[in-house]
Amino acid sequence: MSKTIDSQEQEILRFLDIPIEPFHDRSTRWLFEDREYVRALVEFLASELMTRIDFSRLLLINTGFISDTLREQVADMVFSVPFQTETGTDELLIYILVEHQSSDDPIMSYRMLSYMMQIWDAQRKRWEADKVPKSRWRFQPILPIVYYTGKSRGCPH
């Protein structure tokens, strides 16, 4: 006699069928969804900026881009946070690229630059669509951070 699987059991089986491999990426993203972990990472890497950043207003923003080849690319994490400058407060973008690979990527610097250019290009397109005069364009600063969890040491980037 065969047993009929109810909908709850089917849901559990679908969940268990998810490949475990992407868990590393997801778990790191979940970690950095907590602003205190983002704050700690920035403090560790750029402590001189800490008095100028208001982490209480940290906001995770859209990270999807459409490349020139019309393929969607998703940056791992982009945050917007108020940043105090000499002339006032700007929005600083903190870009965290989560790297889960077992070896160093020799073109990581290029990849980071590419993602940063896509962020700035999205800003430019918004200004053009809103007909903002070029004299008022001011690209947001980006603090790029590569969070590498591979095994090799001595990353030259």
Highest mean pLDDT among 40-49, 78-87, 93-102: 40-49
Q: Is residue 153 part of a domain?
A: no
In this predicted structure, the answer to whether residue 142 has a pLDDT above a threshold of 90 is no
Q: What is the DSSP letter of 53?
A: B
The number of distinct structural domains making up the chain is 1
Please give the Cα distance from 132 to 137 (Å, whole number).
7
Q: Is residue 126 part of a domain?
A: yes
Q: Is residue 11 part of a domain?
A: no
User: Residue 7 domain-assigned?
Assistant: no
Instruction: Report if residue 123 sits inside a domain.
Output: yes
Name the least confident of 17-31, 108-122, 139-153. Answer: 17-31
Dihedral angle over CA of 95, 100, 103, 109, nearest 10: -10
155 within a domain of the structure (yes/no): no
- What is the pTM assigned to this prediction? 0.69
pLDDT band at 126 (very low <50, low <70, confident <90, very high): very high
**Residue 106 belongs to domain spanning:** 20-148
Mean pLDDT of 22-30: 67
pLDDT digits (tens, 9 = 90+) for 52-87: 899 998 888 865 554 555 444 454 678 888 888 888
**Per-residue pLDDT at 156 exceeds 60:** no
**Residue 115 covered by a domain:** yes
